[in-house]
Each structure stands twice: as C-alpha cells, then as structure tokens.
Amino acid sequence: MWKKVGEREVGKISPYSFANRIRSNRISSLDLSNYKEIVSVHRGAINSLQVGDWAGPPVEVQMGGREGLEMSCMGEGCLVAGQVDLTEGRYLLSAASDGSAAVYDVQCAAKYEGGGLVAKHECLFVVDKQHEHGHKYSVSSAIWYPIDTGLFITGSYDHYVNVWDTNTTQVVVNFKMPGKVYQTAMSPIAKSHMLIAAGTEDVQVRLCDIASGAFTHTLSGHRDGVMTVEWSTSSEWVLATGGCDGAIRFWDIRRAGCFLVLDQSRSQLGKRPPFLERSSSKGSASKPFQAGQSSNVKVKIPLKKTTNGNSTKQTPNISRVPRQTKGWHRPHPGMMSSHDRATAHYGAVIGLKVTADGMYLLSAGSDSRLKLWDIESGCNTLVNYEATRLQTSKPIQLAITQDSSLVFLPCMTAIKAFNVWSGKTFRTFRGHYESVNCCWFSSQDQELYTGSNDRQILVWSPPKSVHREVDEKFGEGQMSTSDQDNWSD
Amino acid sequence: MEESEREGREKVSSLIDKATNSTDPEIETRLLKAIKLVVRSSDSELRLAVETLMEKMKKDHSQVRYLTLLIIDELFMRSKLFRSLLVVNFDQFLSLSIGFRRNLPLPAPLAVASRLRTKAIEYLEKWNTSFGIHYRQLRLGYGYLKDTLRFQFPNLQQHAARAQRDRNEREARSKEILLKKFETLRENFLSIKNEVQSTIDEIGECLEILKTEEDGFIPLDSVDDDDVEDFRPSALQKIRLESLNEGEKICEDSDNKVVFDALRELHKLLVNKHLVIVQEWMSVLVRVEATDTRFRDSSLKEFIDIRNRLRLVKTKCEQTGCSLTNPKDRDDDDMWEECKIDMVANGSCSAPNPPSENLVITSTLSKVKNITPVKIETSNGTTATEGFDGTTSVKSKLLAEAPIHNWGSYLDNWGNNRDFLANQRGLELENHWGRVDSDAVIPAERIAELNVQATLYKEEPVEVQPCLAPLKKGGLCQRKDLRVCPFHGPIIPRDPEGKAIDQGPTEEKTIDLEAGVTEQLAKRAVKNVREREREDLKQRENDKKNLKRAKLAKVREHNEKVLRQSAIASTSQSEVMGEDWASVGGNGSHGKEKKQTLASMLRKKVKPKDRITQKLLSARVRDATTRQLAMGADAKYREAYPNQW
C-alpha cells in the first residue's frame, strides 16, 4: 500500500485509479464488522435501508438553490447549506415491519463496549405506532429525500405514503394510496420535479408531488401489483417499475404510457460488455446519454434494438418481426398489445437496481433469477448469475457498488455478492439467522448494511486500517489477551 | 514433506472419526488429547479439523453430533484460529447443534438430541461470555436465540453473580445484627455484669454457710482421729487424708437441705444462663466490626474476666458437693433407665408408669446395654450403686427370658389384680334405658382373659436364591424362583460363572436316603436322557447356524468380489472403499456379540408394553372380543325379553 502511495505521489498512478484501487481492495475484504454494531430498535423484520449519501458532485452544485426553493415550498425552516455536507453518508434510515422507521448515525457511535472494541450505534430517533401519525402496519419502504436529510419518505402497508420532517419528526404531507405500498422511490438526479413514485398493490403506479401534495401521474400498464419502482440514474424523467405480473416497464413521465417493456426472450450476446475494458467504454457511452435527455434518444432505441434482436435467437412464442417495425415507429402509446404482454421474469419482479451510470438494470425475480438488462436496447444480456434461492413473498432491495462491479443480492439468510459482468459469486456473507430483505452499500465508507427478518441490521465492513489498530493496541491491553490461543496441554 | 502432511491430515480426520464413533456420553480422554496434540501442531491440521468436525455435525445421528460438539467445545476454548474459522458458518453450526430451524430438526435418538441441545445452548452461552466481544457472530447467534426465539439459557454467570450477591447481603445483614447487638450490649453491659456478680455473691454466701456448718464438725473429727491413731505408714496416711477430704465434702441432710437447694438453683443459673450468655457476648464482640474499638476491647477483657470468675465459682461449687455436678441432660437419661429396671426386674409386678414411658421402654428395650441405675430423685449416689452388680446379673437373666410385647392400652393395667367397675364411666346416659347397676364389676380373671394377647405366626423369611444360570447375552439369570426357574430348569447351586456345581447326587442322597435306591436310579436315568437330548438339540442348532452362516458368508463373498471388480474398473480410489466394505462385512459376521453401535441407538427397543399391545391389538383378538361382546348383548336381550323371538 505504501508503495502505491509513493507511486501516486510520483505520478505513476492517476489519483482516480489510485482511489479506485484502494476502494476495490477494501470492498474485496468486506466482512462482518466486529467493531461496528447497529443496535436495532425494531421489533419486526427490517424491510428497507438507506444511507443518505445520494448527493454526488454534479448534484451538489445544484443543491444550494434547489434546497432553498424546496424548503420554502414546504414552509419549513431552511437548513444551512453547509450542514448537507456534514450529513452526507452519515444517517442510515431503516424501516421495519412493526410499523417503525428509525434513523441511525453510522459515523459517530453512541457508546463503546468492551473497552472501546465495539462501537454501538444507537438510533437517533424512531417513529412507530405510538407516534400520532405513525404507520399502523408494516413500513415497507423508507427513503431519504435525495437532496438532503431534512425529509424522508415512508411507504406502508396501511396504504399511506408519509413525508416526514426529520428535525421535528412530524408528518408534513401524506398520500393515501389505493392499496398496500410496496416501494417508494425518488429520483436521485431530478432537478425539475420532486415526485415520489409509489408501487402499490394496485396495478397503477402513482407519482406523488411533495410540493403540491397531490398525485401528478397515474401510470397504468401493469396487470398486477407493482413490487418495485426505480428511477433512472441517467434521466430524471425515466422510471422503471417491476410488477407481480413479471413485467418490467419503463416510463417517460413526460408522456403517456410506457415506452419499453423488457422481454426475457429478447436477448443480446454481443452487447454484453467485455469484462475488464468496461470502465473506459462505459464512461464514453454514458456521457452522451446523460447530456441529451430528449425524446430523440428514445427514438433511436428501437432502431438499435431491431438490429440486435435479429442477431440473436428468434423466440417462438412472440411473432415479433412485423410488429416491431410497425409498433416502434409509433411513439405514442407505444406498443402493440402482444408486446405489451412481455415478461422479464417468470413470477413477480421483486427487486430492481439501475447501475450508477444508468445504462444497465439488474432485476431479481421470484423465479430466483437475477438478470442484467441493457436499458438502451431493452435486451437481456444473458449474464448467468450463479444459482441462488430468493425469497418470493416480499420485495427485496439490491445494492450495487459505485463502479458497478459488484451487486449484493439478499439470498434467503445470506447476502451474495456477484460480479455484475461475469455473474460469478464473489462472496457470500453469512450472519443473519432469517431471510434478508434489504441491503445498502455505502460507497463512501465501502460498508454494506443489511437488514433481515431477524430484526438485526448488520454492518459489513473492511477490516480496520493498520494504523488505527496500532493506536488501539494500547487501549485494548488486556482485552486482546483474552482472545488468544489457550492450550492447556 | 507433502506426504507427511497428508498423513497428518488423515490422522486428524481418523482421530475424529474414532472419537465420534462411540455410544458413550463422553469423549475418550486419550483420543481427545491426541486430537488436541495433532491440531496444535499446525494450522493446516486445524483447518482440516474444522472441516471434518463440520462434516460430522451434518451427520444424521444425534450421538455423532453430540460427541462432535464436545470436541468443538474443547478446541473452541483453546484455539483462536479455530474460533475464527468456526464462526464463519456459525448459523449453520447452531442450526445443526440446537436445531432451531423448524425444517431442520435434530436427528434420531431423542434422548441424545435433547442432551445435545441443552449442551449446545450451554456452550453457546459460555462462548458468548468469554469470547463474545471478539466475535460478532457469536453475539448475533446468542442474541437471536435469546431475544427472537426466546430460548432459555442456563444463565450460569448470572446465577453465580446472584449467589454472590445473596451471600454478600447475608453477610451484611449479619454484620448489621451484630452491630445492633453490640449497641444493646453497650447499654446493658452494666446490668449484665451486676447480675452475674450478684449470682456469684449468692453462691459465695451459700458456700460460706455450708463451710461454717462444716466447721462445727471438723475440728472434733480431726482431733478424734489424731488421738486414736498415733503413727501409721504413709500409704495409710494418704488414704486416710483422702477419706477425710471426702468427709469434708458436705453431705446433704435435713439441716442444710435449704441451703443446698438454693445452691443447686444458683449453680444451675450460673451454668445454664450466665456462662452461656457471657460466651455469646464474647463471640459477638470478637466478630463485630465496631467503630468504637476501645469499648469493645475493654468489654471483651471484662467478659473474659467474668468468665474466668464464673468458672472458678463453678469448680468451687462442684467441689463442694457431687450432687451439684449432675447436668440436666444426664438427669433425663437416668430417669428412663430407672424405669426400665423397674419394668424388667419386676416383670409382671405392678408398675403404673405413664404410657409415654412405656413406649420408650418397649422400643429401646433391646438396645440399651450399659445401665447405671443412679437414682436422681433422691440424688444420693450411694444407695443406687450398692445394688449395682446384683441387679445387672439378675436383670440380664430376666431380659433374656422376657417376652416382647407390642405396646397397647392394656399395658396401663399391667399386672393389675383388681376388679373393674363395669358401669362407671362418669356419664349417666345409660339411665335412659332403665335401671343400671352401678356396682356391677368385671372380675379380674375376665379382664385378664380379655387381655390375652393373640400372637400371630410369623413366617421366617426365606431368602430365595436367584437362578444364576448363565445368560446368552452375558451375566447370570437373576430370576428368583423357589424351586424351578421357567427358563433354566431347577435351581441348583452354581459357581460364580454360572456353571452347575455337580452336587446333585449328594444332595439327592441326603434327601432320598429313605427312599428306595430304585427310585434314585430311575431319576438318574431320566436325567441322563434329558441331558443327552438337550445336547443333541444344541448340536443340531449349532449345525443349523453354522450352515446358515456359511451360506451367508458365501453370498457376501460373491457380492464383494463383484463390487470390488467394478470398483477397480472405475477408479483407483474406490478400491480402498471396497476393502473398507470388506472390513465392515467382517465386522457384521462376528457382530453377534451385540456391541452397542450407533445404529443400534437408532433402532427402537421392543418393550413389554409393545409386546402386550401387539398381542391385545391383533386382529384375531379384536374380532374375538367383538364377537363375545355381541354374544353378551344378545344374551342380555333374550333374557330381558324372553317372550320375543
């Protein structure tokens, strides 16, 4: 490591790759953390976890003005802009099936145990059934307002989506949904809207506007409840939803109807990114996409897809060729009914995750499959993720590393880390005693947080750095001696 | 190098194999030590051991898992590397050892499974307390079982802590009590001292009075002595002096009886109350942790003084008269013994004792041997000791021939020769039914007749000898029959191994001495024939068994050959397996000794209950019962309605 630091100083290694290398090193040594412990206050399964570390550099530029605007709309006191920097990646929001949501400080421990060996992170506050506006039933999803931690949004099985003020722990706005809320999502890069997408038992996906307190959109197309919703990370108007009918739909919220339904039988081998050269090609590819957020990008999509689709195997069940040429020229409402019926998974889609660059989508289904989709072409990339078993009844929350190299997937009692591009199992994290529901990867600290039915939130972190350990050797003293070999004979 | 390593590897796993392949509830210490030694030698061994142990934990047999758990505990408490390796798959380990997953319950022998579970829970707690801080997985597992599944942990540590706390509390309380006592002592010290002093003074006065009385005689006595005897040998002189001393001891008589009584009272008070109290206070003073040490020391000193003085006075009293020395407890003993003498010596003569005493006497009659008939009531030791020798001899003679009676109300009137009034009960209820002759008596003979004790014949206990014939499964037949064991024939004396000691003829001779020789001969003949028959039968059976065995062996051999050939054809590794099989087969052939194996633990034992149920619930019996019941119902019906057809 010191050698690398030296190289970095001399200039042999660019700072970016240096940082990346250290990061990936740390990620590869992730393990159940013994020195960091989150004291869960929940008395039910943990359904959702999120650390408020959304704000990447481009968003941060926008933040000052944005925040002031939103806050004045809400009638809340403004936060000082500097506070946002402080709170970044610091507060963990968790939701549990006992109707509670809690916030933990993952940076500063509340207390230490065992002579400073174990840091216990206790919750800062909890909102549960005792709260006057608390959820009555299981909270299925809790997310931070993407700009700062002044607000958070919870969706629950009691049909409500609540927007909470973090400082006063009061409900600011609430939305009554037609059924149980499975998942809520807000766009991390939105600059012109602040919509909460809510997937519910109902077939329609609703977009709730915090500013006005009303539904702005009702997106219909799914034939069953919507398990997961996920905003694109490259376009603020694109929303992906996965339903119990096994379909994954893409919506452009500026126009009616969905513009893309992922079809598991449409696959492409050629477009699968090469294993190692990915990072460079991705960077170039994502930029134009991000820059040109207009409809003509989407017009291009069908053209590409037809070329790709022809190169791959033809599926017997859907006679696609005539429809494709006809259907995709029509931008509105978009699709023939037969294509509209395509499915991405057998069974329900229970988890969606878009890569950080917004080009690929990972989806988990109740058929225990994990699939990687090329969003641009809408094709299955046929990456074969090793066999796993997923729980089928609840939506699960996937996590992906910043550079899209690893995906963390809750597989029953364990969490598996797959290599996104090869599908190989990288690691299996065992520690929970019941099914894991959610995981969250904090790319800032390279830590993984997982929540499970056994009511625990576990922290998986790289081992402490050398120099910190040396520091603590003095403090530990007699503690370290107790964990030594002790052969009597 | 590699070779030796591999050898070592096999060694660990084979050691573990051997250790876990047993039905004992413990690991053999020798094996355990060997495992520890091997594992300690290198890290790779340890890794292999972890693997092997986890494999063993997955076995579908609770006994194997239990023994594995014991080994795991041993290594877990010792090796850090072992801990860190085991902890990785800790949830699996817990589910295999505790069986908390509903879809993965613990395997077969139920008793062992429950033992396994309790042990695993105990170990988990132990590990958690000693290493939990270093291993998050341990804490997690413990927390999950405790908080989510609500398992009951033995809470050893807490128990110990609680016991400690209790002890501390008790100590504190006793200290407090002591302190309180100390405070009261500080208040009452003077009064106690005064009380003791007054008693001592009184005793002193009593003694003084006695002395003065004595003084009246002594000079006269001594003068008299001096006059008569002028000179004597020194020995005689000594005896005389002693007797003089003895004489000096004041004898109680009618004159000084009051003084003696008072003295006795005071002595009793002194011994039973003051001395005890003083001792008590002294112990309190020694134990108490008072702040005022000066007072404590001074009072302690004083108490010691008082005690010494009391002892002095006591000895003085005792020197004065032997009557004072009798402590209370001996008093009671003497009372009883005296009564017994009365009873036994006087036989049937009148001794109207209270029934409670009777009870004691009759029950302790046979036990008491040394009798010191000292009469306390008169408290003159001399009178009783006179007849000591004579009574004992007479008494022992009488004791020998005295009948033993059960206690009963008739003993109230033992040896009473009086007539009894028949209608004298104190209540005049009988008057309602006419005139009552209140003078009617029951003659003594009649009473005696009524009181005649029935004696029951008591059979002398006969010790029935066990059969002691050797059993097939080892050991001797413990059946106790009077003459004939239903399984092993007549009961005959046998040597420790169960072989019959050939005593038959001599025994029979003694028995059948009067019976004719012919009879004996016939018996012998029959016996011989029987024996031969039995032998023949045995021989035939053995032959049959051998035949069967040979056939089985042939079949097995054939099977093995085929298997081995196929194995050789497929891989080289499975040849070893083939051999293994052969050894297993070999084991099977002489496995008739019924050594308890792991498989036998899984087999269900056939108990008498099972046999009975099998018999009772068999179809034939059930049919018969129903038929009988139906017939019974039919008969009843016909009886009830005889005119109907």
Those residues whose C-beta lies under 8 Å from the C-beta of residue A176, and which sit 6 or more positions away, are A159, A160
Residue A320, Cβ neighbours under 10 Å: how many?
21
Q: How many CA atoms lie within 13 A of B404 on its CB side?
A: 7
Whether B131 contacts B83, CB under 8 Å: yes
> Do residues A316 and A304 lie in contact, with contact meaning Cβ atoms separated by under 8 Å?
no
- The last residue of one of the domains, among A176, A196, A230, is A176
Confidence check: pLDDT of B368 > 60: no
Average pLDDT, chain A: 75
Mark whether B114 and B186 lie in a shared domain: no
A238 and A120: one domain?
no
Q: Using one digit for the tens of pLDDT, what is the confidence trace for B69-124?
A: 988 898 888 888 888 888 888 888 888 888 888 888 888 788 888 888 888 888 88
Residues B179 and B312 in one domain: yes
Q: How far is CA B568 from CA B422, B554, B562, B582, in A?
A: 110, 21, 10, 14
More confident residue, B629 or B369: B629
Residue A120 amino acid letter = K
Residues B59 and B184 occupy one common structural domain: no
The answer to whether B206 and B266 are in contact (CB under 8 A) is yes
Q: Are A160 and A99 spatial neighbours (Cβ–Cβ below 8 Å)? A: no
Contact: B144, A433; criterion CB under 8 Å: yes
Give the residue among A360, A383, A359, A386 at the shortest CA–CA distance from A371: A383
What is the rounded CA–CA span in Å between residue B154 and residue B203?
64
pLDDT band of residue A175 (cuts 50, 70, 90) is: very high
Same-domain check for residues B185 and B256: yes
Together in a domain, B62 and B187? no
pLDDT of residue B502: 65
Alpha-carbon distance of A451 to A94, in angstroms, equals 8
Over 60: is that where the pLDDT of A334 sits? no
Of all helices (H) and strands (E), which one includes residue A353? strand A349-354
Q: To 10 degrees, the CA torsion angle through B473, B479, B485, B488?
A: 10
Q: Answer whether residue B480 shows pLDDT above 80.
A: yes
Which has more pLDDT, B223 or A205?
Answer: A205
Using the 3D structure, point to which of B324, B343, B371 is the last residue of a domain: B324
* Token couple for B160: 């110990």
Short-list A401, A404, A410, A402, CA closest to A432: A410
Instruction: Tell whether B56 and B28 lie within a shared domain.
Output: yes
Point out the residue among A37, A455, A487 whose CB comes nearest to the CB of B40: A487
- Note the pLDDT of residue B341: 43
Flag whether A165 is in a domain: yes
Average the pLDDT over A411-439 and give the result.
89
CATH number of A262's domain: 2.130.10.10
Same domain, A130 and A224: no
* Judgement on whether residues A260 and A372 belong to the same structural domain of the protein: yes
| B176 and B69 in a common domain | no
pLDDT over threshold 50, residue B372: no
Any A CB within 8 A of B151 CB: no
CATH number, position B195: 1.20.58
User: Are the beta carbons of B89 and A431 separated by less than 8 Å?
Assistant: no
Q: Which among A340, A370, A402 is the end of a domain?
A: A402
Residue B629 located in a structural domain:
no
C-alpha triplet B206, B212, B215: angle, nearest 5°: 140
CATH number at residue B25: 1.25.40.90
Whether A120 contacts A39, CB under 8 Å: yes
Most confident of A381-390, B230-239, B572-581: A381-390
Beta bridge partners of A415: A410, A429
Residue B99 lies inside a defined structural domain of this protein: yes
pLDDT grade, residue B461 (50/70/90)?
Answer: confident
**Residue at B50 is within a domain:** yes
Both A109 and A244 in one domain: the answer is: no
The single-letter DSSP state of residue B572 is: S
pLDDT above 80: residue A375? yes
Q: Which amino acid is at A420?
A: V
Candidate from A207-221, A340-354, B346-360, B410-424 with smallest mean pLDDT: B346-360
Segment 98-127 of chain A within 8 Å of chain B by CB? 113-114, 117-118
Contact A150, A76 (CB under 8 A): yes
A359 residue type, one letter: M
- Name the token pair of A391: 């729980």
> For chain A, how many residues are written?
489
Across the interface, do A482 and B134 touch by the CB < 8 Å criterion? yes
Structural domain includes residue A37: no
Task: Answer whether A154's CB lies under 8 Å from A101's CB.
Answer: yes
> Using a CB-CB distance cutoff of 8 angstroms, which residues of chain A are in contact with residue B79?
485-487
Question: What pLDDT shows up at residue A325?
Answer: 40
Which residue type sits at A370?
L
Mean pLDDT, residues B297-312 taken together: 84
User: Are A136 and A253 found together in one domain?
Assistant: no
What phi, psi does B335 have (nearest 5°)? -55, -50
Verify whether the Cβ–Cβ distance B37 to A489 is below 8 Å: yes
Q: Quick one: A183 and A120 in the same domain?
A: no
Q: List chain A residues with CB under 8 Å of B133.
A: 113-114, 117-118, 479, 482
- Of A171-185, B212-226, B412-426, B466-480, the poorest mean pLDDT is in B212-226
The answer to whether B304 touches B281, Cβ cutoff 8 Å, is no
Of all residues in chain A, the one with the smallest CA distance to B38 is A489
Specify the pLDDT at position B9.
Answer: 62
pLDDT beyond 50 at B224: no
**Three-state SS string across A276-327, please?**
CCHHHHHHHHHHHHHHCCCHHHHHHHHHHHHHHHHHCCCCCCCCCHHHHHHH
Is there a contact between B133 and A432 if contact means CB atoms under 8 Å apart? Answer: no
B299, B300, B303, B304: CA torsion to nearest 10: -140
Interface membership of A313 toward B (CB under 8 Å): no
Rounded to an integer, the average pLDDT of B3-23 is 74
Question: What is the DSSP code (8-state) at residue A397?
Answer: B
What is the distance between the alpha carbons of residues A112 and A39, in angstroms, rounded to a whole number? 12
d(CA A142, CA A133): 15
pLDDT value at residue B503:
57
The closest of A418, A416, A451 to A432, measured between CA atoms, is: A451
The answer to whether the Cβ–Cβ distance between B140 and A486 falls below 8 Å is: no
Q: Residues A150, A83: one domain?
A: yes
Which residue do the tokens 């190289």 mark? A7
pLDDT reported for residue B157: 73
Is the CB of A295 inside 8 Å of chain B's CB atoms? no
pLDDT band at A81 (very low <50, low <70, confident <90, very high): very low
Helix (H) or strand (E) holding B307: helix B293-320
Name the DSSP class of B145. Answer: I
Domain range for A261? 179-266+330-402
In a domain, A3, yes or no: no
Q: Given this model, what pLDDT does residue A176 score?
A: 92
- Quote the radius of gyration of chain B (alpha carbons, Å): 45
Please tell me the predicted confidence (pLDDT) of residue A381: 85
d(CA B14, CA B25): 20
Residue with tokens 């001074």: B298
Q: CA angle, A127 as apex, A124 and A133 as ends, to 5°?
A: 150
- As a dihedral over the C-alpha atoms of residue B164, residue B168, residue B173, residue B174, rounded to 10 degrees, the angle is 100
**Which position has the token pair 């039905």?**
B23
Whether B18 and B125 map to the same domain: the answer is: yes
The model's confidence at residue A248, banded by pLDDT at 50, 70 and 90, is: very high
- A153 vs A111, more confident: A153
Q: What is the pLDDT of residue B424?
A: 67
Average pLDDT of chain B is 74
Which string of b and e fits A449-458 if b means at least 16 CB within 10 Å? bbbbbbbbbb
> Residue B468's pLDDT is what?
82
Distances (CA, A) of B399 to B346, B365, B369, B371, B497: 11, 9, 11, 13, 47
Is residue A114 over pLDDT 60?
Answer: yes
- State how many domains chain A has: 2
| A118 interaction partners in chain B (CB closer than 8 Å) | 133
Q: How do A238-243 and B489-490 pair as beta strands?
A: unpaired
Do B178 and B66 share a domain, yes or no?
no
Residues A172 and A238 in one domain: no
Range of the domain at B68: 1-154
Give how far Cα A394 sits from Cα of A313, A349, A364, A436, B4, Å: 33, 10, 12, 10, 53
Phi-psi region of A358 (alpha: psi -120 to 50; beta: other; left: phi over 0): left
Indicate whether B185 belongs to any domain.
yes
A106 falls within a domain? yes
**Cα gap B537→A134, rounded to integer Å:** 89
Compute the average pLDDT of residues A187-211.
Answer: 89
Chosen domain end from A131, A149, A176 = A176
Cβ separation B77–A118 shorter than 8 A: no
- Comparing CB atoms, the residue among B91, B134, B148 nearest residue A483 is B134
Beta bridge partners, A175, equal: A161
- Domain endpoint, select from B293, B324, B355: B324
Does residue A286 lie within any of the structural domains?
Answer: no
Tell me the CA distances in angstroms from A277 to A280, A411, A421, B604, one per residue in order: 6, 29, 11, 65
Statement to judge: residues A92 and A205 lie in one domain: no
- Would you give the DSSP letter of residue B494? B
A-chain residues near B33 (CB < 8 A): 489
Minimal CA–CA distance to B152: which of B142, B166, B163, B165?
B142
Output the pLDDT for position B3: 52
User: Any chain A CB within 8 A of the CB of B74?
Assistant: no
Are residues B117 and B18 both part of a single domain?
Answer: yes
- The total domain count for chain B is 2
Beta bridge partners of A261: A249
pLDDT at res. A363: 92
Closest approach of B60 to chain A, Cα-based (Å):
22
Residues B91 and B58 in one domain: yes
Q: What percent of chain B has pLDDT over 90?
A: 1
| CA–CA distances in Å: residue B367 to residues A410, B347, B363, B397, B398 | 84, 18, 8, 15, 15
Going by pLDDT thresholds of 50, 70 and 90, the confidence category of residue A308 is: very low
Q: Are residues A94 and A225 in the same domain?
A: no
Any domain includes A483 = no
A51/A121 same-domain check? yes
Q: Rounded mean pLDDT of A102-126? A: 83
| Least CB–CB distance from A455: residue in B78, B89, B148 | B148
Contacts of A100 (CB under 8 A, 6+ apart): A41, A42, A43, A44, A126, A127, A128, A129, A134, A135, A139
Query: Sign (positive/negative) of CA torsion B137, B140, B142, B148?
Result: negative
Interchain contact, A432 vs B91, CB within 8 Å: yes
A165 in the same domain as A208: no
pLDDT of residue B260: 78
Q: Are residues B184 and B274 in the same domain?
A: yes
Q: What is the pLDDT of residue B594?
A: 54
Checking if the pLDDT of B340 tops 70, the result is no
- Choose the most confident range, by mean pLDDT, from A261-275, B333-347, B403-417: B403-417
Does a structural domain hold residue A79?
Answer: yes
Q: What is the mean pLDDT of residues A2-15?
A: 82
